[in-house]
Structure 1
Amino acid sequence: MNLALQRLITLPWRREYQAWLRSDGVTWVYIAKVLLAAFTTYWLALRLELPQPRIAVITVVLVMQPQSGQVFAKSFYRLLGTLAGSTMMVQLMALFGQDSVPFLGCLALWVGLCAAGAARFRNFRAYAFVLAGYTAALIGLPALAHPEGAFMAAVWRVLEIALGIACATVVSAAILPQSASAAMRNTLFQRFGRYARFVVDGLRAGHPQSAFEACNLQFVAEAIGLEGLRSVTLFEDPSMRRRNGRLNRLNSEFMAITTRFNALHQLLERLRSQPPQRVLQQLEPGLASLVSVLEHCADHALNLEDAARLALRLEHWKNQWPPLVRQWRRTLEEGGPSDAERLDFHTTFELLYRLACELHNYALTHASLADHNHVREQWEEPFVNRTHGMAVLGAGVRATLVVGLMSAWWVLTAWPSGATMILVSAITVALSSMNANPWRMSLQMAGGTLLAALFGFVETFVIYPRIDGFPLLCLVLAPVLVVGTFLSSRARWAGYGLGLMLFFCMGALPDNLTRYDPSLFINEYLSMVIGMLLCAAAGAIILPPNSRWMWRHLEADLRRQVVFAISAPLARLGSSFESQTRDVMHQADTLAAGQPEVQRQVLRWMFVVLEIGHAIIELRREQALLPVHPSYAEHRAWRVSIRVMGRSLIRLFIQPDTRNLRRSQAAVERAIGRVRQTEEPFASHFDTSPLRRVESYLHFIRTCLLDPQSPLAACGTKARGDAAHAA
């Protein structure tokens, strides 16, 4: 009895301990690796008598990440950015070494250009632009007093940064490595199990709107995150590099699955809300058959063997599909269905069949990961990012103005610490350009710099004179680095941790020849804080990306994806449309954090854009596959009507209002009528009737335009409300 009671008491503690090992335990391992890499780099830099050992340590602080693949990727792009920034600095020094005013003006433009590039890419490639920007300032500003030493200063900076990169990568890869490829495999395998449960529950009884939206947001974020992981694993794992095409294909096919199911789910919800439900009664066997196939994978990780078995089940399901659909159609026809019910039946089964096809393709690609070489590796439709031009322009303008104003202040006041102020401003504005809230990021970095000033003053003027030897130096530096690394590992406090570590190393880390000058120390940190506060003010005033204007622009970008689906070349259109739409949605959701109504509105626009855009792409594909046959040549009016419908939809999604909505609805009705007038509106075989598929997609577009839950419905509601108010 006592033993059982003891086990019962200790069980919660065991669970808490295991949770700590999974979360904070990994963090403390990461902190230990940061300390080891930083101190190893610092010792080597001192032994090699590099001019500024602190630059090597700062490199370690900036490069180190929890996963080794992230360290490799960040190190690679940091080295590229350093080389680009050093090259530009040497060129500027050769042109304007004798005159600081044009040099500082060109430097401000260069930093702005690099900040715009960082805002454009928003991943580890953006880090190359960040480094290219502030490396030029890091090397060029101290060299203004001695232009003849600019080239050697660039060489020394590259060597110091290379030393930091080498130590960080070795420590990250050799000591308790956390593999990015393992994280990607886990995410990839677990994701399909969760989505299978989502599909099964949705086909059985549907999802509440709030749960449906929340789950879709999660899957959008996972698709974007998986693309980032894929780009990182290329630097780490040769086996993942050999499967890069299939990993890219898997993400694209998963996005296609989500679009297919979202369209099917929305149509089923409309049918469930419109009695009588005769069509639903005929749909239930088809839905149940697909549910039985996916039930085996729900809530389970999809390993390679399970993926192969799933592919076989889906192939068997597809082979049995045509005769079953003909049987269900005959049962429906016995009840004398209306034209609307007949269209609902065919449209729903078309979407269900296409969903099964997408699932089958995904299962085949997933199972092919077991082979080193496979034909499905040939995939030339990469994930396409889309960043609004105003966000890129805003980041560039902010960086240029901040560095330009700081440079003018330095020239006019001749403040000895003005060069540090410009350098810190360039670093801060470049790093914050990758953040969704540059004002908050800059302000947090300023708070971290104040902590660095306090810690640095105590250590520089109280502790350093009383210690001797490198081990004691590491001992007194460790608490500051531990606190900074811990803060940077938490998303809410990442700016504080980054500011503390980065600017403690910059202002308080001893060089080979250490100077103890309190007035210089205070002036240096005062210039750092002033520069960061100006960056925070610029982030809040000059085109802030998390403001209302940016949400509106991103919403307009999201709607214009329908224009892209209508007018872009058909080659590689599907994956480009899927990835760009989700990328814009993810940006808008991130920038609108704390504004649930805005996030919900943008998410609803994403559903409409994906549904109508995907239907349009399928229409274009069906038209391209239809042969030019005399029987079709006599009835080409339906093709013209579809083109007219496309122009109406372009006007609607560029300017959503009641007039354009009615025009689009009328254009869709005319297109459906034209298709019905052809000689073969329906064929006896479900899967060989291209005109039926055309009519089904047209009907689906019509139901999307008439959906009362759609944001398009708000156009008509608002117009009717305005008319009633005017009356």
Structure 2
Amino acid sequence: MNRPADNPAFPVQLREAAADWWHNERPTWIYVFKMVFAALLALGIGYALDLQSPRSALITVFIVMQPQSGMILAKSFYRVIGTLIGSAVVVVFVGLFAQTPELFLIASALWIGLCTVGSAHNRNFRSYGFVLSGYTVALIGLPAALNPGTTFDSVTTRVTEITVGIACAGLVSALVFPQASAPGLVRVIRGRFTAFVDLIGATLGGTADRQQLEATNARFVGDIIGLEALRSSAIFEDPEIRLRSGRLSRMNSEFMALSTRVHALHQLLNRLHANPAPGAAIVIDALSPYFREVQPLLTRGSGEPVMSAVDAADAGLKLEEYKRELPRRVRATRDRLPADSDSVMLDFDTASELLYRVIDDLHAYTLTYASLNQRRHEREQWDHAYTAKTSMTTALIAGARAAVTLLLLSAFWILSGWPSGDVAALNAAAFCAITSAAPDPAKATRTVAIGVVFAAIAGYVYTFHLLPRIDGYWMLAAMLAPVLMLAVLLTTKPRWAGYGLGICIFFPFLAVPDNFAHFNAAGYINEAIALLVSLIVTAVAFMLLLPPTTDWTVRVLERQLRKQVVDACFGKLAHLALKFESGTRDLMHQITMLTSSRPALRQSAFGWTFATLEIGHAIIELRTELNGIRSEQPDLLPPTAHAALNRLRETIPALFASPTPATLADALAANDHAIEQVQQSIGPHYRERSERHRLQRTLSYLHFIRTALLDPQSPLQPMRTGTDSTHPTPSRARHAT
């Protein structure tokens, strides 16, 4: 029998295993060692500076820890801002309410609730700044209210401890095996461009079904938000990223507009394929050659898809030439269509207009991608940032929940005289704010609570059996390192991250001694129980006080989503398209997070998402076109046409505010009437090409809105009771060619 060493395949397997570990596990272990080293460094500096509680510096390292140094710097920046604001509020509250603890607690609860609202209403690490503003009031304010004379010392000590932790985390992350955010940013950009090329090929080639398109768009939403998060973090660490920050924001905006156009074109093609009328087949046959020509424009000479910014420059030149020739070619194709069919002309004009807009947006997106290859470029001039959209209702509920939880535990603390009641109150308030943005905050809090149980048991062993036997900082660091490494390692595993976070934060809180160490078993047990009780109460609050995981919350977000169409109809046109795109996708992302385990609910919400995107975007383009007509050619449309279009702007918002068969019938009737009025304006008489094209464009937007309202896969479909399922195209006036 051969031994493993005699097997020639064994060395090969060993090398493969080592290579696999090097590429996959090595970054994780580097991260673990870096964070533990930074934490112990902060602890040592805290002892050396004779800070009151050096463990706060250590805990700060774990709170701000992130894989990339840019993320650490961004989170640290907002942590400092939040701490400074919270410290200022502490001084004000103690000055006003030092003699009345009840009023102090009420004011603190209101402040924490307000900060939680701000946290739920913001994105990225700005949200964390709001959390810290509230958490600092609880952490410093409650002890300071009991001893007002120590308020200033408590505030300065707290700020110093946090600053030490932040400095250590930032320096170690930046200097010891630094892992920058920029490479991840490049991977996201390249991966998204490649995936989008594939999507265009599948969409225009007719091989993508609705479910595949929905899944791809949901992934793109995550990419959009992820890219914005990476960009906002990377600008803290990389001057090259700062020089390109405007172009990265621009790419996100252009990508959102482009993906909406592609989705709209795909949906129109689906409706044409599903239409049994012979005119639909004529339109598809006429446009299919153009669709097949798009994907080759986005491939290199070798046949591989465009990936780098250098490749994108070549693709931009091909798209520019294609876009320049497209209108002439489309007019020639249109002249060969049957001129006596209104439906054929409407479908062709709408589809060809969408195709041109797809090419135009794709050209702009490709040029911006290509410009990233240069340090400075004119496309950097872009100040329209991604606009998050959060339901104020859910944000107010999160704030009220945090305030109520703090008030209840504070009342119990005062009435019971529990020595560690302040610890329970401040910790519960903090976790209500921190976990309110999680998809399932009750579950997240429960996992942290389990980590606290482990931290309490391990901390007791350390405090009362190991600490008395050691001497000096180095022995303390060696003793703490194994547990801290285990905790950080757990945070890198999504399934165990909550347990690891509980150990990272609460094991040092319980086990690491202050400069003046106290060995009080009763006090230790009280604090451990207080921490556990605070998390249990927080989890119960999330389960009982309007839990965010209920179907009701998703319905609230759905209503907020539909309201985007109302904003599209009446909002100011300046930057409206970008606000609409980013807001709709932000709400879609929130719904995706909340419905991960409820596919039926997600499917319904996605239906409203895509109906909102299609109709809302078409409304904005229609308004933009009409605004240009009013300012440049006010006599192009008669007053009756403007009145019909204004009526449409009234019925569409009413439909999305209250979707019923009656509001759908009103919207369809108004849309049909608007189409007839614009058709009459075009007329059979002679018009300049620019005038005719402008009117045909207006007609195309109206026709697309109509097809979206009649989409059999739309969530509006069940409301079409009593209406004709075919709902023929208005033909009161012949659509002239």
TM-score band by shorter chain is over 0.9
Distance 1:206 1:548, change over 3 A: same
Shift of 1:234: 1.8
After TM superposition, give the deviation of residue 250 of structure 1 in Å: 0.6
Q: Is residue 2:653 matched to residue 1:657?
A: no
Give, in whole Å, the separation in 2 of the partners of 1:171 and 1:380: 33
Cα deviation digits, residues 189-234 of structure 1 (max 9, x gap): 2211111011112111231222111111100111111111111112
Paired position in structure 2 for 1:695: 699
**What's the offset of the Cα at 1:686?**
8.6
- Write the letter of the residue equivalent to 1:110: W
In the alignment, is residue 206 of structure 1 matched against residue 212 of structure 2?
no
Q: Who is 2:317 aligned against?
A: 312
Go from structure 1 to structure 2 and tell me whether the alpha carbon gap of 1:134 and 1:628 turns closer, same or farther (over 3 Å shift).
closer
CA distance in 2, matches of 1:57, 1:368: 43
1:60-106 deviations in Å (ceiling 9; x for gaps): 11011100000000100010111111111111111122232211221
CA distance in 2, matches of 1:58, 1:161: 9
Partner residue, 2:520: 517
Question: In structure 1, the residue corresponding to 2:668 is in which secondary structure?
Answer: helix
- Cα deviation for residue 436 of structure 1 reads 2.6
1:711 aligned partner:
715
Distance verdict in 2 for CA 1:385–1:369, change over 3 Å: same
Which residue number corresponds to residue 166 of structure 2? 165
* Corresponding residue for residue 327 of structure 1: 332
Unmatched tracts of structure 2, length 5 or more: 1-5, 725-737
Contact 2:298 2:306 in 1 (8 A): no
Name the counterpart of 2:31. Answer: 30
Which moves more between the two structures, 299-308 or 361-370? 299-308
Amino acid at match of 2:335: R
**Aligned ranges for residues 205-284 of structure 1 at < 5 Å?**
205-275=206-276, 276=278, 277-284=281-288
| Aligned 1:346-365 pairs, distance under 5 A | 346-365=349-368
- Specify the alignment match of 1:65 in structure 2: 66
1:390 to 385, 388, 393: 393
Deviations 1:463-511 (A, max 9, x none): 2222233232222211211221122222333222111111111111122
Alignment of 1:644 onto 2:647: yes
Query: Which of residues 403, 408, 411 is equivalent to 1:400?
Result: 403
Question: 3-state DSSP class of the match of 1:211?
Answer: helix
Match of 1:443 among 443, 446, 470: 446
2:306–2:315 CA contact under 8 A, matched in 1:
no
- Percent same amino acid at aligned positions? 41
1:462 aligns to 2:465 (yes or no): yes
Distance 1:12 1:371, change over 3 A: same
User: Aligned letter for 1:308?
Assistant: A
Comparing 323-332 with 60-69, greater Cα deviation is found at 323-332
1:293-337 Cα distance to aligned partner (Å, 9 max, x none): 13449974621211111110011101111221122112223xx66
SS of the residue 1:230 aligns to: helix
What TM-score, normalized by structure 2, do the two folds share?
Answer: 0.93
1:116 paired to 2:117: yes
Higher mean C-alpha deviation, range 7-16 or range 76-85: 7-16
Q: Which amino acid aligns with 1:329?
A: R
Residue 54 of structure 1 corresponds to 55
The TM-score normalised by the length of structure 1 is: 0.94
Partner of 2:729: none
Q: Distance in 2 between matches of 1:528 and 1:717?
A: 57
* SS of the residue 2:372 aligns to: helix
Shift of 1:49: 0.9
Instruction: Report the equivalent of 1:558.
Output: 561
Q: Once superposed, what is the RMSD of the aligned Cα atoms?
A: 2.3
CA distance in 1 between counterparts of 2:691 and 2:610 reads: 26
Aligned equivalents of 2:582, 2:251: Cα separation in 1: 12
Bigger shift: residues 592-601 or 684-693: 684-693
Structure 1 residues 180, 631: closer, same or farther in 2, change over 3 A? Answer: closer
Q: In 2, Cα distance between the equivalents of 1:518 and 1:718?
A: 75
| CA pair 16-561 structure 1, distance change in 2 beyond 3 A | farther
2:727 matched residue in structure 1: none
Q: CA deviation at 1:627?
A: 5.7
Aligned residues of 2:119 and 2:128 also touching (Cα < 8 A): yes
Partner of 2:735: none
Distance 2:657 2:106 in 1: 39
Name the CA distance, whole Å, in 2 between partners of 1:394 and 1:351. 41
Aligned equivalent of 2:80:
79
Task: Rate the CA distance shift 1:305–1:686 in 2: closer, same or farther, 3 A.
Answer: farther
C-alpha distance in 1 between matches for 2:471 and 2:645: 82
Shift in Å, 1:248: 0.8
Distance across 2 between alignment mates of 1:89 and 1:517: 29
Q: What displacement does 1:395 show?
A: 1.1
Aligned residue pairs total 715
Equivalence for 2:594: 591
Q: Quick check: 2:68–2:180 contact (8 Å CA) kept in 1?
A: yes
Within 5 Å, which residues of 2 pair with 1:681-692? 689-692=693-696
Q: Is the 8 A contact 1:322 1:687 kept in 2?
A: no
* 2:682/2:692 contact within 8 Å kept: no
Q: CA deviation at 1:32?
A: 0.6
- SS in structure 1 of the partner of residue 418 of structure 2: coil
**What SS does the corresponding residue of 2:336 show, helix, strand or coil?**
helix
CA distance in 2: counterparts of 1:206 and 1:716, whole angstroms:
29
Match of 2:372 in 1: 369
